[in-house]
Copies of this chain bind each other. A is one copy, B any other.
Amino acid sequence: MSRYLTVAMGQLGPIQRADSRASVVARLCAMMREAKALGAQLIVYPELALTTFFPRWYIEDPQELHAFYETTMPNADTQPLFDLARELGIGFYLGYAELAQEADGLHQYNTSILVNQQAEIIAKYRKVHVPGHSEHEPWRRFQHLEKRYFESGPGFGVTEAFGGVMGMALCNDRRWAETYRVLALQRCEMVFIGYNTPVHNAPAPQHDDLSLFHNQLSLQAGAYQNGMWVVGVAKGGLEEGVDSIGGSCIVAPSGEVISRCITKDDEVQVARCDLDWCAIYKRTTFDFDLHRRPHAYGLITAKKGETLAADGTLWQAAVGH
């Protein structure tokens, strides 16, 4: 049996600060038409796909900061994207900064939505693994103030759509094995992950040459070890003086990259993905019911970091000799 889903990556090149949302939405729409021409039922856009990556700046004025957020979705600027999606009968995943009016006040999230082929928002995800730092650190060549500008979301969920079980994550989530596992424990068959990843990481410049390798390694391991499709889509290129990696790719449940963007600009690539291929892994090597051993996993949820055991010693093996 086969359940094919043709998925497009809608990788974005840079968005400068002066670029209007209307101009960005026009670029997204152009890629949506390309994706449709390639037979895609769904196009995946990056994280924070409507504006420049503003966490690179320390912004004190709330009004200036909030100009980068969306308070409603769709809104006047993004309505053309929803209209085109309905016209073409194509779904999409889109990342943006969300300013949410909740009972206890305003909240800021790094958010993505999943939109079906009738242009209805069917799921929303708020980034869990918010990276970076929360205070201004002037020694950095540029800031990474996501921890200042975004709260962590509550968790990872799945949605039955596009003929299978779909999940969402964002950027730094992809480096954490827990992301894929929590989704896979909900039978996720395909996860969409938009990202913005500067080549230069100020606290660990030793990693800079490995940025693309680390991106792909994380996406491939997450796919293989959970028997799921992984669609990672970048905003890449030189944005306001900061160079970001591209490397958008679609990874099969085998861990193999089967489609990849080769520029750091706006670029559309597609892959025909058989959702039934997941079972080849989920029902054999990674049959969780047969092979997982939660009795040995307690520390994963019991503690956050590498703190020592209560008696001040290391955690020791339960097995003596």
Interface residues of A (CB under 8 A from B): 113, 121, 123-126, 128-129, 131, 152-160, 165, 172, 175-178, 180-182, 184-187, 201, 203-204, 206-207, 210, 213-214, 217-218, 220-221, 224-225, 254-256, 280-307, 314-321
**Which B-chain residue is minimally distant from A109 (CB atoms)?**
B319
Task: Report chain B residues within 8 Å CB of A214.
Answer: 224, 255
Tell me the bound Cα distance from A97 to B37 in angstroms.
58
Please, could you name 11 A-B residue pairs with CB atoms under 8 Å apart, sorted by A? A124-B317, A124-B319, A158-B314, A182-B297, A203-B284, A207-B280, A217-B224, A288-B305, A289-B307, A292-B305, A301-B301
Tell me the bound Cα distance from A230 to B166 in angstroms.
32
Tell me the bound Cα distance from A287 to B172 in angstroms.
13
Task: Report chain B residues within 8 Å CB of A320.
Answer: 124
**Which B-chain residue is minimally distant from A223 (CB atoms)?**
B217
Tell me the bound Cα distance from A206 to B304 in angstroms.
38
Q: Are B301 and A152 in contact (CB under 8 A)?
A: no
Task: Report chain B residues within 8 Å CB of A126.
Answer: 319
Tell me the bound Cα distance from A153 to B201 in angstroms.
40
Task: Report chain B residues within 8 Å CB of A165.
Answer: 314
Task: Report chain B residues within 8 Å CB of A298.
Answer: 155, 182, 301
**Which B-chain residue is minimally distant from A320 (CB atoms)?**
B124
Tell me the bound Cα distance from A184 to B295 in angstroms.
17
**Which B-chain residue is minimally distant from A172 (CB atoms)?**
B291
Q: Are A288 and B314 in contact (CB under 8 A)?
A: no
Q: Least Cβ distance of A218 to chain B in Å?
A: 7
Tell me the bound Cα distance from A210 to B251 in angstroms.
14
Tell me the bound Cα distance from A294 to B152 in angstroms.
11
Tell me the bound Cα distance from A292 to B124 in angstroms.
21
Question: Which of A282, A298, A304 gathers the greatest number of chain B CB atoms within 10 Å?
Answer: A304
Q: Are A206 and B280 in contact (CB under 8 A)?
A: yes
Q: Are A292 and B221 in contact (CB under 8 A)?
A: no
Task: Report chain B residues within 8 Å CB of A201.
Answer: 284-285
Task: Report chain B residues within 8 Å CB of A285.
Answer: 131, 175, 201, 204, 207
Tell me the bound Cα distance from A185 to B308 in angstroms.
9
Task: Report chain B residues within 8 Å CB of A281.
Answer: 204, 207
Tell me the bound Cα distance from A101 to B176 in angstroms.
40
Q: Are A177 and B177 in contact (CB under 8 A)?
A: yes
Q: Least Cβ distance of A105 to chain B in Å?
A: 17
